[in-house]
Amino acid sequence: MSEIETIGVLGAGQMGGGIARVAAATGFRVLLADRDQATAEAGKAKIAKALGRLVEKGKIDDGVRNATLDRIEPVTGIEALSVADMAIEAASENIDLKKTLFRRLDEVLPAGALLASNTSSISITLLGAQTNRPERVIGMHFMNPVPVMKLVEVIRGLPTSDETYATTLSLAEKMGKTCITSKDSPGFIVNRILIPLLNEACFALQEGLGTAEDIDTGAKLGLNHPMGPLELADLIGLDTCLAIADVLHRELGDDKYRAANILRMHVAAGWLGRKTGRGFYDYRGR
Ligand code: CAA
């Protein structure tokens, strides 16, 4: 496998933008792709804003900000990733969508390129099976907010080669991250633990055990969690939390993983958390 210089990040949302920012900050050239140019450009604009705040705080200088931004090129569609040495897919947590994207990535990227998914719960073996290079398909699960969180969870599909695994570990390390390795099992390690916790907080709210503030303060002051479970769910996105909960329930076949109705109803209402201005909390005007 040749040296990775150019990384195609597919999806310019919250996770894709974070991955692009960290990759560019650590010296990689990044093609930040989304369905249309305006979305890809908006993803880069958010990164520019965040880097601007770091300059204001004196954490980085103008030179670092500009060099990082210069390494990020917003592009339209998967076709634009044909020159990438690898792709990191960071689209929505939807099995059919990701299967289609992996088929297209396989058609477009050079035969030797590695294809990684930032999926939070979907089988890497299944995504690899959409391609003619399952040995070069791997899970690279970043945490939100990507620039702050140190972890990358690496998931090997059944056919993932030792070379792909070693390259991915070394790439994550170059990006300043620490890796854990998980078996290809629904939710892997982190979300197998986290989503039942967040979902249980939703049940607690649904059953009126306390207010959202009581529940979150309980976790913050009683358990020393940096954020309460409901505000963390709002940060992750309630649609993403629900999608993962549904994967855990369906694939593990145990009713203990069933999503709380209050979570499902928030998603049905379009109250998806911070990104829509309203979730368990109201962010409008904040
Ligand atoms: N993007 C980039 N940087 C951010 C950020 C963001 N969205 N939010 C905060 N930061 C930075 C701040 O700039 C600040 O940096 P400096 O210390 O260099 O100034 C630092 O993080 C701390 O921020 P704050 O002081 O504003 O706030 P805080 O101390 O409360 O920390 C937090 C914010 C880091 C988000 C913290 O609350 C936290 O760790 N929360 C838990 C996050 C978590 O559990 N993430 C995992 C989610 S699960 C997941 O991602 C997997 C999945 O598949 C669902």
Burial class for 147, CB neighbours closer than 10 Å (0-12, 13-18, 19+): middle
Position 285 confidence tier, pLDDT thresholds 50, 70, 90? confident
pLDDT mean across residues, the chain: 97
Pocket mutation for ligand 1, best pick of 46, 124, 148, 188 (most atoms within 8 Å of C-beta): 148
Q: What is the model's pLDDT at position 1?
A: 57
Q: What is the model's pLDDT at position 265?
A: 98
Q: Which atom of ligand 1 is nearest to the CA of 241?
A: 54
**Ligand 1 near 58 CB (within 6 A):** no
Q: What is the model's pLDDT at position 278?
A: 98
**Ligand 1 near 152 CB (within 6 A):** no
Percent of the chain with pLDDT over 70: 99
Clarify whether 120 is annotated catalytic: yes
Q: Which atom of ligand 1 is nearest to the CA of 190?
A: 51
**Ligand 1 near 52 CB (within 6 A):** no
Clarify whether 141 is annotated catalytic: yes
Domains along the chain?
Answer: 6-182 (3.40.50.720), 193-276 (1.10.1040.10)
Q: Write b or e for each residue in 151-171: b if 16 or more Cβ atoms lie within 10 A of its Cβ, otherwise e.
A: ebbbbbbeebbeebbebbbeb
Clarify whether 2 is annotated catalytic: no
**269 pLDDT more than 70:** yes
Q: What is the model's pLDDT at position 286?
A: 79
**Digit-coded pLDDT (tens) for 168-211:** 999 999 999 999 999 999 999 999 999 999 999 999 999 999 99
Position 75 confidence tier, pLDDT thresholds 50, 70, 90? very high
Listing from the earlier edge strand, what are the strands of the sheet with 6-10? 72-76, 29-34, 6-10, 86-89, 114-117, 137-142, 151-156, 178-182
**Digit-coded pLDDT (tens) for 105-164:** 999 999 999 999 999 989 999 999 999 999 999 999 999 999 999 999 999 999 999 999
**Digit-coded pLDDT (tens) for 205-253:** 999 999 999 999 999 999 999 999 999 999 999 999 999 999 999 999 9
**2 pLDDT more than 70:** no
Clarify whether 153 is annotated catalytic: yes
The separation between the first and the last C-alpha atoms of the chain, rounded to the nearest angstrom, is 47
**44 pLDDT more than 60:** yes
> What is the C-alpha separation between 52 and 157, in angstroms, rounded?
39
Mean pLDDT of 18-29: 98
